[in-house]
Structure 1
Amino acid sequence: MTEKPTQEMSFEQAMAELEKVLGQLERGDVALDESIALYERGAALKTRCETKLKEAEEKVAAITLDGDGNPTGATPVKGL
């Protein structure tokens, strides 16, 4: 498990680490204190994934199409 701050992780990095965390928790072969730390890390990773997905959805929603259905560019989304 890396200790890279979740705010610096891409969606793919956060998802890969979240899968590892879940695997460790599901096996149940870690001490209680470590399980709690893993759960906290997993919660932070889940939040990061949700944030990155929301950002992507907002960017996709901002793309405008011309009369032929071709993208004409993106309208800036407030806050991004």
Structure 2
Amino acid sequence: MSESPNEPTTTYEQAREELADVVRRLEAGGLTLEESLTLWERGEQLAELCQHWLDRARERLAAATPAEGDQRG
């Protein structure tokens, strides 16, 4: 499966793992306000990336699954 030029290079699994790490670091505390804001912004980017991959998977499943009216039998 080749990726289109618009596809991100980070996989869903990589983004999810990094997002989990961002959450752990934010929950642990001890960061400056600037560090917390930077991590929060990165977390937002990663959440959007994960959502992108989930939306693409949903589209692929919908394309591979016959519509209810198309079932024959």
TM-score normalised by L of structure 1: 0.70
The percent of aligned pairs where both chains have the same amino acid is 39
The structure whose residues are more often helix, as a share, is 2
User: Alpha-carbon deviation of 1:28?
Assistant: 1.0
Aligned to 2:60: 59
Listed as ranges, the gaps of 5+ residues in structure 1 are 1-6, 69-80
Asked if 1:50 is matched to 2:51, the reply is yes
Tell me what 1:11 maps to: 12
Measured on the aligned residues, the alpha-carbon RMSD in Å equals 1.5
> Which amino acid is 1:22 matched to?
V
- Unaligned 5+ runs, structure 2: 1-7
Secondary structure class of the residue paired with 2:42: helix
Please give the per-residue CA displacement for 1:30-75, whole angstroms capped at 9, x wherever unaligned.
Answer: 111110000000000000000000000000110145758xxxxxxx
Higher strand share: 1
1:72 aligned residue: none
